[in-house]
Amino acid sequence: MKCQGQGTRKHDNKNGIEEIAMNYIGIDVSSKELRVVVSVNGKHRKAQLFENVPEDHNRLIALIQKLHGESIVCMEATGIYHFDLAVALSRAEQIKVMIINPKAAHNFSKALLQRSKTDNIDADVLTSYAERMPFVEWQRPSEEALALRALARRIAATNKIKAQVKNQLSALLATQETPEVILAHTQSLIDTLEAQIASFRSSALKTLNGNQTLQEIYTLITSIKGIAEASAIQLLGELLTMPDDLTVKQWVAYAGLDPRHFESGSSVAKRAKISKAGNRYIRQALYMPALVASRYEPHVAAYYKHLQEKRGLQKIQAICAVMQKILHAIYGMLHNKQPFDGSMFFNMEAA
C-alpha cells in the first residue's frame, strides 16, 4: 500500500484540487561527497554519488529537473557542508528544499526500524522522510546576506594571497641579487591586491548601509572593543546566513569553538581543545578581536587574566576561550538588541 503523499501531492487552484506529480530526493551530505536517492512514483532508485562541489551541484540540479513534475529535496543540517548546495537547489525551478534537524532524521530512522547505518541508507531514509512527513520549506538567507558572505570570503582569500606575496617580497629583499624589475612587479601585485580588498570592503559596507536591519546589527557588534570594520564584515558575512532558530550552543559548535575531550582508559585524559570542526571563517574573524579586547577592554582583559591565573590555561587556550565568550556575547546582543556590556561579559568583583 502506497503511503500518503508518495508520488503525488494535492494542489489547490481556482478549479478545485488537482494532484501533481511529485518526486522526493534524499541527500546525505558530507564535506566531500553527496549520496543521492531519488524516489519517483514511490519507488526508490539506487543511490548516486556526487562530489560536494559547485560543478556537481549543477549536475545534480540538471538531473532533478529532468524528472517529471516538481521535486522535494530533503537534507540534514550538517554545519557548513550543506549550505551552498541548499542555496543552489532553492534557486532552481521545480525544486523545493527542506532542511531537517539531524535528531529528527535519527528518530525517523529508528521508527523505520533501520538498524544499519551507511551513507546510502541515510540518503534513503531522508527520501522516506520527505515522502511521509509534512513539508517545511527552507528559508534561503536574504540576497544581501549572501552577497555579504561572498564579499567577506573573497576578502579573506585575497588577504591570504597578499600575505604570501608580502612574504615573497621580504625574501626577495633579503638578497642583493634580485633584479629591480622583480621587486617592482611584486610590489605592484601587493598594491593591486590591497586595492581589490579595499573595493570588496567598500561594496560590503554599501550592502550593510543599504539595509536598516543590517546597519543596526553592524552598529551593535562594533560596540565591542576589538571589532572594527574589517572584523565586523567577516563576522556578519557568516553569522547572517545562519538559521535564526539556532541556540548559542549551536553557534559555538557551528564555529568549531566547542571543546573536544580526549580520554582513553583510566590513565590518559588530555586537556580539552576546541574541535575546529566548524566554520573556520568565524574563528578567523574572532581571533584578532579577542587579542585586542583581551588587552584594551577591561572586563575582557580581566577574564583573560582569570583564565590564566585561576584556571591554569596557556595563552592560546585563554584566547580561544575569549573567542568563544565573545561569540556568546554577540549572540545575546543580537537577540536582545543591546550593545556590548562589559559587566555582563565578566564580573571583575566576583573574580
What integer pLDDT is reported at residue 244 of this predicted model?
80
For 263, the enclosing helix (H) or strand (E) is strand 259-264
Query: Integer distance in angstroms from the first to the last C-alpha of the chain?
Result: 66
For range 69-96, the mean pLDDT: 91
Residue linked to cell 551541484: 57
Contact 82, 76 (CB under 8 A): yes
Of residues 240 and 14, more confidently modeled = 240
* CA neighbor of 131 nearest in space, from 50, 40, 49: 40
With 90 as the cut, is the pLDDT of residue 80 above it?
no
For 215, the enclosing helix (H) or strand (E) is helix 212-221
What integer pLDDT is reported at residue 164 of this predicted model?
97
pLDDT digits (tens, 9 = 90+) for 19-52: 567 999 999 999 899 999 999 998 999 999 999 9
Of residues 102 and 62, more confidently modeled = 62
Model confidence band, residue 4 (pLDDT cutoffs 50, 70, 90): very low
The C-alpha atoms of residue 281 and residue 278 are separated, in whole angstroms, by: 9
User: In the Cβ-directed half-sphere of 125, how many Cα atoms lie within 13 Å?
Assistant: 25
HEC secondary structure over 224-239: CCCCCHHHHHHHHHHH
For range 60-79, the mean pLDDT: 91
Model confidence band, residue 78 (pLDDT cutoffs 50, 70, 90): confident
Give percent above pLDDT 90 in the chain. Answer: 72
pLDDT digits (tens, 9 = 90+) for 90-145: 999 999 999 998 888 888 888 888 777 888 999 999 999 999 999 999 989 999 99
The C-alpha atoms of residue 346 and residue 61 are separated, in whole angstroms, by: 49
Residue 143 burial (C-beta neighbours within 10 Å; 0-12, 13-18, 19+):
exposed
For 202, the enclosing helix (H) or strand (E) is helix 180-209
With 60 as the cut, is the pLDDT of residue 267 above it?
no
User: In Å, what is the CA distance from 156 to each residue of 95, 121, 163?
Assistant: 32, 37, 11
Note the pTM of the prediction, 2 decimals: 0.77
Phi/psi at 77 (5° precision): -75, 105
Bridge partners for 269 per DSSP: 263
DSSP letter string over 153-173? Answer: HHHHHHHHHHHHHHHHHHHHH
CB atoms within 10 A of CB 128: 22
The C-alpha atoms of residue 18 and residue 89 are separated, in whole angstroms, by: 25
* CA neighbor of 90 nearest in space, from 75, 103, 79: 75
What integer pLDDT is reported at residue 103 of this predicted model?
82
